[in-house]
């Protein structure tokens, strides 16, 4: 990820794009890319979504890459350590969703 | 990331949540989390978004973690190597946006 | 809709919120509300989504209202006649998706 | 809106698309369209977003139309009266955001 962060810095610098890369704009671009990823699944059944045709697989992989790239770029601008934040979030989630309580159910937390 | 992937597998297994984690549902959850991240920035000016108050910083970090976690989980289900995909996408983008051509501009590709 | 537009104008004026209601911010808020609506469906099967429990129905109705309100507000700021635009878009779609060609299929246009 | 609802019913029936129009899928499509609308604004400054070039205006109008059409279609499937829901939501918001308290500020409700 450090390597990707550095490549993205260089990419932006070479294009004079840092002026556009405010946290607000990057969070927007991330959300737009996430929706582009979702678009590939919107009319599929749950079952169809598990076996994408090969041409769709490549498009989906590219959209996932875009999401990750904007996330890394935003983390760089906000000085967030993504892997550390994700690791801590799993620990928080483990407390929020005790395995014994939520087993087999995805109800909202507030419903417990 | 491998470590996070494994923790997420265990987390889902312990809660019997794999039944909900279809690629379609995970792509939806990812998009929802990206919007929750964006929500923190929606009324801020570009300038304000660069200096979040500390309590907002923690919330934003947690939302970014959620985005990453769903992305890793989706990649696991679709058998995508995220870091490799991101690295290749940067190379594609370098061709799509030649530094000399797009310098200082964020127009859509189709406009070049 | 004219009535809602006028109420929203008054609502914003009374709170001195026009300064926040730039088209960029309103489009962001609209997207965030659409994701909040989607959140209610994210772990449901297609079949479950057709029969929401009553408490979910009310929340979903409120999220749909929020989407409409931001859409009307954005249309007001951009001077767009929503009903006219929607009517014209249906006519465009009828040409884009000829009934005889797309019957029973939701493939992307580019695939025809 | 009743007229648009009826046209959309006919549109779907002619294409045998009702099978795809589950509330879950329609909420997804709505969110995807909202993001496509947002995409037009993602790199613009607040000020630029108030004066879109004419070619962008038409694209933005079409995206807004798509959002409205999916919203009407979803409301039809869930038996929601959109205008009534929106009117009631404004009344709720007036209580949630008392003009005297929130004047000139967009902080989250929880912060009051």
Closest chain C residue to B38, measured at CA: C32
Q: Is C107 exposed, middle or buried (0-12, 13-18, 19+ CB in 10 A)?
A: exposed
pLDDT tens digits along B84-101: 999 999 999 999 999 989
The predicted structure's pLDDT at residue D108: 59
Residues of C in contact with A37 (CB under 8 A): none
CB–CB of B32 and C25 under 8 A? Answer: no
More confident residue, B48 or A110: B48
Residue C112 near chain D (CB below 8 Å): no
* Pick from C76, C81, C86: nearest CA to C5: C76
Closest chain D residue to B28, measured at CA: D28
Exposure b/e, C35-72, CB count within 10 A at least 16 = b: bbbbbbbbbbebeebeebeeeeeeebbbbbbbbbbbbb
Residue A17 near chain B (CB below 8 Å): yes
Residue B111 near chain D (CB below 8 Å): no
DSSP for residue A16: T
B9-25 average pLDDT score: 97
Is the complex ipTM higher than 0.85?
yes
**Cβ distance D23 to C41 under 8 Å?**
yes
DSSP for residue D98: -
Instruction: Report, in this order, helix, strand and coil percent for chain D, each rounded to 5.
Output: 70, 0, 30
pLDDT tens digits along B52-95: 999 999 999 999 999 999 999 999 999 999 999 999 999 999 99
The predicted structure's pLDDT at residue D110: 47
User: Does position B110 have pLDDT exceeding 80, yes or no?
Assistant: no
* Pick from D99, B81, B11: nearest CA to A99: B11
C43 contacts: CB under 8 Å, gap ≥ 6 = A106, B20, B25, B29
Query: D interface mutation test: which of B27, B30, B35 has the most D CBs within 10 A?
Result: B35
Closest chain D residue to B43, measured at CA: D106
**Cβ distance B50 to A74 under 8 Å?**
no
User: Does position C3 have pLDDT exceeding 70, yes or no?
Assistant: yes
Instruction: Report, in this order, helix, strand and coil percent for chain A, each rounded to 5.
Output: 70, 0, 30
Total length of chain D: 112
CA distance D49 to chain A (A): 13
User: Which residue from D28, D43, D46 is facing B45, i.e. has the nearest CB?
Assistant: D46
The predicted structure's pLDDT at residue C106: 83
Q: What's the half-sphere exposure (Cβ side, CA atoms, 13 Å) at D27?
A: 31
Residue D12 near chain C (CB below 8 Å): no
**Cβ distance C16 to D103 under 8 Å?**
yes
For residue A82 the two structure tokens come to 């993504």
What pTM does this model have? 0.95
CA distance D111 to chain C (A): 16
CA distance A99 to chain C (A): 18
* Cα angle for residues B68, B69, B74 (degrees, 5° grid): 95
CA distance C18 to chain B (A): 11
The predicted structure's pLDDT at residue D112: 44
3-state SS class at A96 = helix
User: Cα separation of A1 and A3, whole Å?
Assistant: 5
C45: left (phi over 0), alpha (psi -120 to 50) or beta: beta
D45 contacts: CB under 8 Å, gap ≥ 6 = B46, C24
User: Which residue from B31, B43, B106 is facing D31, i.e. has the nearest CB?
Assistant: B31
Tokens 């030649």 found at: B98
User: Cα separation of C112 and C110, whole Å?
Assistant: 6
D51-62 average pLDDT score: 95
CA distance D5 to chain C (A): 10
Residue A85 near chain B (CB below 8 Å): yes
Tokens 């929607």 found at: C86
Query: D interface mutation test: which of B20, B43, B105 has the most D CBs within 10 A?
Result: B43
The predicted structure's pLDDT at residue B106: 83
Tokens 């795809």 found at: D20
Query: C interface mutation test: which of B15, B32, B49 has the most C CBs within 10 A?
Result: B32
């Amino acid at each position: 990820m450090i390597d990707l962060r550095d490549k993205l810095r260089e990419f932006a610098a070479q294009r004079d794009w840092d002026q556009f890369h405010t946290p607000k704009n990057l969070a927007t671009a991330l959300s737009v890319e996430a929706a582009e990823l979702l678009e590939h699944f919107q009319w599929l059944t749950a079952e169809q979504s598990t076996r994408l045709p090969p041409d769709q697989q490549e498009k989906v992989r590219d959209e996932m890459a875009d999401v990750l790239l904007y996330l890394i770029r935003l983390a760089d601008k906000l000085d967030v350590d993504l892997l550390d934040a994700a690791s801590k979030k799993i620990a928080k989630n483990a407390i929020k969703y005790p395995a014994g309580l939520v087993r087999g159910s995805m109800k909202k937390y507030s419903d417990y």
